[in-house]
Structure 1
Amino acid sequence: MTKDQFLTRLLSRRRALLAGAAAVGAAGTAGLFAAGTGDTPKRPVLPAAAPPARRPLKPSAYRLQPLTGYGPPRAAPRRTLVRHEPLLKVSGRGRTMVLTFDDGPDPRYTPDILDTLAEYDVRAMFFVCGEMAVGNKDLLTRMSDEGHTVGNHTWSHPLLTRLSRGRIRSEMERTCDVIEEAYGERPQWFRAPYGAWNRAAFQLGAELGMEPLAWTVDTLDWTAPAARTIVGRVENGAAPGVVVLSHDAGGDRSQSVRALRDYLPQLLDSGYHITVPRRHYA
């Protein structure tokens, strides 16, 4: 076989191989469009489309997204126990006492009382009336900032035993709303005006999440005695767990302001710890 004949055969075989490969490729491609029976072409199966990309949330929207899977489940809040009589004393370590002030806030006397408490780094309780608080919200804000406890003393200081259940609820609820707005949280304690409690007051107070607190030592400062008389009543009644009742509104309370300046340092020097009570849930 000559060289030319050999080259001619080689090229012919190469063309045949290329033609066969092209035919196989065409058949495979046709299989993608015409499979099964009949000649109707079918569209190729494509992978599922990815979900559309989520638009980024605005910074404020992130706060609306619930967080799940982090930390223990939140327990339902416990209901406040419905008591049949108010608490008179508080528990605490050592010689613990509580100072309470009713009927305010009054811009003529409450700031001076707060100044004295701040001077000795002491916390107290203020049972406020809604009609006084609504015009002196800055004083409630100060009480909150300085760590004092604000309680509910009704809206207009009525005798609850003469009111309907609906009126009692209104007196309490309106005051709760004002306290929450100015103080930052709803009150956890309430005190009936004149110490006049009834079943409705206990039940409604519990429904609003409040514990009833009365007092152990009454300074009777509402009768406007001399400051030294108020000081004597506090010092004679001082004992562990005692709750002292004074007033920062409802009349001339200048003697109450002066008395606090005298008996507070004496109580501290005698080893008493002046504090605010903690809630004890049932």
Structure 2
Amino acid sequence: MQPVRQKDKLAMNGREPGAVTGGRQRVRGRLRRRPGYAVLAALLVAAAASGCAAGDDSGAAARDAKLQAGQPGAQAEPAAGALGTRAAQAERARLAQAARAVAAKKWDLAATPLAAPVPPAKKPRLTTRKGFEVEGQDDSLPPVFTRVPTTDKVVFLTMDDGDDKDPELLKMMSELNIPYSAFLTDYLVRDDYTYFKDAQSRGTVLGNHTLNHRYLPGLSHDEQKREICDQQDILEEQFGKRPRLFRPPYGNYNTDTLKIAKSCGITAVPLWEAEAFPDHMEWREEDQKLHPGDIILTHFRGKADWKGSMPDLIRSVMKVITDQGYSVARLEDYV
């Protein structure tokens, strides 16, 4: 059975499942309070108050005041009058972006991230990218893609594995209102499921990245099933929801991979167009530019593996995204 290869088996910096970087296990640290928190909080309260004054649904208004379009819980197409007048909605959007500007300064971003557009009322039809087909490929298998078909000037941020559990990352992404999807590998996250429950509570959607990050085309059918479907069961048990999205380790898969993934609830296999690091980007396409719908890959890693922390990574990738005129949208709003 011919596998589809994306990367060599040198990912994870050569580490095997169960290895501990530098003889140390990572634990969650204490959040550091940064300057600007009071201003940011005041702007969020002002945005909430604006929404409350505009309509009767005060609970929804207060909740949505912290959410840009594309974030989970934000209302894509509110009914007339549900959130007040257009002027009030525009004011809430202005206040939300002002809060984001304060957060961008607080977290030392080069520029304020752009607000994502309203998600599409109907999700685009996904197909497997040409050249990524497997033997016996047909429309019954989950599509494998690196870019979402859209004309919106948006990209999608995804993080794999779950090794480094930096609490500053959760706070940073929440305050900046930047959505991302996390594809989790159990042997790396099982020591602290609570960290990812916190991420989930802040709007992050969790996907499947197998139990042990093994090279799937080299496994038997039963071994692949354990890696994929057992991880589905664990994620559902721990986080209350069975994932729809699956990313094979190293981006490598074969026909068995896709058939097994489908059998345990997977509907799509998003890969990536670019990979982000704290100090550089790696590109699939020769033009080395972003395009509408591009999926960006990065990992939960820290200074032990990279030239920087997770917040350093976000500062770096957001500069690329914002400089090219793109916003970050929520992958699950399009897929």
Please give the TM-score of this superposition, normalised by the length of structure 2.
0.51
Pairwise CA distance, 1:232: 9.8
The equivalent of 2:62 in structure 1 is: none
> SS at the partner of 1:102?
strand
8 A contact 2:147–2:273 mirrored in 1:
yes
Q: Quick one: which amino acid aligns to residue 253 of structure 2? A: W
Distance 1:85 1:94 in 2: 21
The equivalent of 1:216 in structure 2 is: 273
Structure 1 residues 1-282: aligned runs within 5 Å: 82-83=140-141, 86-92=144-150, 94-107=152-165, 109=166, 111-210=167-266, 211-219=268-276, 221=277, 227-230=278-281, 236-249=288-301, 252-253=305-306, 255=308, 257=310, 258-264=312-318, 267-268=321-322, 270-278=324-332
Pairwise CA distance, 1:255: 2.5
User: In the superposition, relative to structure 1, how do residues 199 and 280 fare at CA in structure 2: closer, same or farther (>3 Å)?
Assistant: farther
Distance 1:91 1:149 in 2: 20
> SS at the partner of 2:179?
coil
User: In the superposition, relative to structure 1, how do residues 256 and 247 fare at CA in structure 2: closer, same or farther (>3 Å)?
Assistant: farther
> SS at the partner of 1:197?
coil
Pairwise CA distance, 1:239: 1.9
Q: Quick one: which amino acid aligns to residue 194 of structure 1? A: Y
Distance 2:163 2:145 in 1: 23
Paired-residue identity, %: 24
Distance 1:253 1:129 in 2: 19
Distance 2:185 2:321 in 1: 28
Distance 2:316 2:248 in 1: 28
Q: Quick one: which amino acid aligns to residue 145 of structure 2? A: L
Q: Quick one: which amino acid aligns to residue 332 of structure 2? A: R
Unpaired runs of 5+ residues, structure 1, are: 1-80, 222-226
8 A contact 2:274–2:281 mirrored in 1:
no
Pairwise CA distance, 1:265: 5.4
Pairwise CA distance, 1:236: 4.5
8 A contact 1:140–1:182 mirrored in 2:
no
The equivalent of 2:11 in structure 1 is: none
Q: How many residues align?
A: 193
8 A contact 1:247–1:256 mirrored in 2:
no
Pairwise CA distance, 1:134: 1.9
C-alpha distance after superposition, 1:51-80 (max 9, x if no partner):
xxxxxxxxxxxxxxxxxxxxxxxxxxxxxx
Pairwise CA distance, 1:133: 2.3
Distance 2:168 2:227 in 1: 28
8 A contact 2:142–2:262 mirrored in 1:
no
C-alpha distance after superposition, 1:109-139 (max 9, x if no partner):
4x33323211210110111101122222112
Please give the TM-score of this superposition, normalised by the length of structure 1.
0.60
Cα RMSD (Å)? 3.0
Pairwise CA distance, 1:105: 4.6
Distance 1:241 1:193 in 2: 22
Distance 2:142 2:203 in 1: 29
> SS at the partner of 1:172?
helix
